[in-house]
């Protein structure tokens, strides 16, 4: 006697296969999203050159507000650019 369901996948097999496929795609999409986010955050970080420009801008703003005089501005700018006073 031949049973048609003996060699095939029963209802639980189809269910397990469907759940496995959904989990596979969820994990794949999640990994892709996390990868793109990490690459985006890495490119958003300011480089050392950008931070130096920001420090020079702050120094210029302090000179403009009168917090430091021209001599102190030149000294600090020299330290920022060359690393020596």
Q: What crossing angle do the helices spanning 48-65 and 70-82 adopt, rounded to 10°?
A: 180
pTM greater than the 0.85 cutoff: no
Res 40: pLDDT: 85
Dihedral of CA 61/62/68/71: which sign?
A: negative
* The token pair that represents 73 in the structure block: 């501005």
Q: What does the H/E/C string look like for 23-55?
A: HHHHHHHHHHHHHHHHHHHHHHCCCHHHHHHHH
Give the number of residues written for the chain.
85
DSSP annotation of 83 reads S
Q: What is the pLDDT along the chain (85 residues), one digit of tens a residue?
A: 455 555 566 778 888 899 999 999 999 999 999 999 988 887 766 666 666 668 888 889 899 999 999 999 999 899 888 876 5
Q: Domain-by-domain residue ranges, the chain?
A: 12-39+47-82
């Amino acid at each position: 006697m031949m049973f048609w369901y003996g060699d095939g996948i029963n209802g639980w097999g189809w269910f397990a296969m469907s759940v496995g496929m959904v989990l596979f795609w969820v994990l794949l999409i999640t990994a892709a999203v996390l990868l793109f986010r990490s690459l985006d955050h890495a490119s958003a970080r300011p480089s050392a050159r950008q931070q130096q420009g920001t420090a020079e801008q702050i120094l210029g703003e302090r000179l403009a507000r009168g917090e430091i005089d021209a001599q102190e501005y030149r000294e600090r700018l020299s330290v920022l650019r060359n690393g020596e006073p």
